[in-house]
Structures are given as structure tokens and as C-alpha cells.
Amino acid sequence: MSALLYAVAGLLHSIITLYIWVVIIASILSFVQLDPRNPIIEILNRITQPAFNFVRKKMPFVVVSGIDLSPLVIIFGLQFLDTLMMRSIM
């Protein structure tokens, strides 16, 4: 049972880390004017925009003077969950 728990925790850790990198990449690419019909941009938007919109809706103060800080909130939240999960297992 312990090995299964470690395996699931390791898988969740990998998924969270991958999603954090996707959020970082999408945030950086949002500063550059790219073709929104580009398949890579479409995939990034499909993966990240639901989370961004959720944070913007629940926390409208994350948009400050036209600067959207929702990626930062998502990254901090995922880091918190990941740290909490990994420390509770060990």
C-alpha cells in the first residue's frame, strides 16, 4: 500500500510540475503577438484559459492596471498543494 501511495504522489507531483511549466510558457507567450490559430497556441489556451478564467472570476483583484496576475496565483496555489502533498507523504 505504501508503494502505491508513493507512486500516485510521484505521478501527481509530475503532473503539477508539468502544468506549472505550461502556465509559465502560456504567460510568456501572451506578451508576444502570435497567431491565435497556431495549433500550439490553441492547445496552450485550451489547457490554461479555464484555470485563468476561474481565478479571474473568483478573485477579480488579480487584474491590476491591465496586468493579469492570475498565472501567478495559479503557480503559487499549485506549489502550495504540491509541497503539502509531498511533505504529508514523507
Model pLDDT for residues 3-15, shown as the tens digit of each residue: 898 999 999 999 9
Percent with pLDDT over 90 in the chain: 81
What cell numbers appear for 73 in the block? Answer: 496565483
> What is the pLDDT of the chain when averaged over all its residues?
93
pLDDT score of 56 more than 90: yes
Mean pLDDT, rounded, for 17-40: 93
For position 1, what pLDDT does the model report? 65
Specify the DSSP element, H or E, that contains 5: helix 2-29
What pLDDT does residue 14 have?
96
**To 10 degrees, the CA torsion angle through 33, 35, 39, 45?**
50
pLDDT of residue 38: 92
From the list 38, 37, 56, 59, the residue with the least C-alpha distance to 48 is 56
Determine the Cα–Cα distance for residues 8 and 10; give it in Å rounded to an integer: 5
